[in-house]
């Protein structure tokens, strides 16, 4: 995921059981800290690695509403973000969606 040219236009969807006992599919966004301050953050729906120069990655971030923007992200912050993305895509997403589906089915039985 750190290779130049790698990109994900959208992350795996997240299922949620809402208060009306409906199973709703939502777009997943993951926090990206692009600057040194804790306030220099955004929520990425997807990303693409454009280049690496020194200790910074130039990436394009895709947002839920279709917008996209380029950021220069410090290597450490970008690696933390990639770890979160990897964890969601390959470990957490399927488990989370399975748990929400079970919760939805159990709510239907009790209603």
Domain limits of the chain? 7-110
Q: How far apart are CA 63 and CA 58, in angstroms?
A: 16
Classify domain 7-110 by CATH number: 2.30.29
For the record, the structure tokens of 82 come out as 């990639």
Nearest to 73 by CA among 90, 93, 53, 91: 53
**How does DSSP classify residue 65?**
T
pLDDT band, very low/low/confident/very high, at 111 (cuts 50, 70, 90): low
Instruction: Specify the pLDDT at position 92.
Output: 94
Predicted structure pTM score: 0.86
For residue 82, give the H/E element and its range.
helix 75-87
> pLDDT, tens digit, for every residue of 16-68?
988 888 899 999 999 999 988 889 999 999 999 999 999 999 999 999 999 99
């Amino acid at each position: 995921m750190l290779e130049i040219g790698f990109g994900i236009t959208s992350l795996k969807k997240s299922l949620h059981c809402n208060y009306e006992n409906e199973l709703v599919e939502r777009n997943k966004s993951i926090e990206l800290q692009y600057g040194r301050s804790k306030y220099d953050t955004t929520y990425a729906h997807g990303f693409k690695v454009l280049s690496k120069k020194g200790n910074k990655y130039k990436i394009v971030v895709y947002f839920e509403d279709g917008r996209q923007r380029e950021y220069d992200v410090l290597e450490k912050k970008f690696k933390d973000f990639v770890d979160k993305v990897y964890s969601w895509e390959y470990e957490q997403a399927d488990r989370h969606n399975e748990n929400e589906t079970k919760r939805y089915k159990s709510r239907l039985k009790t209603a």
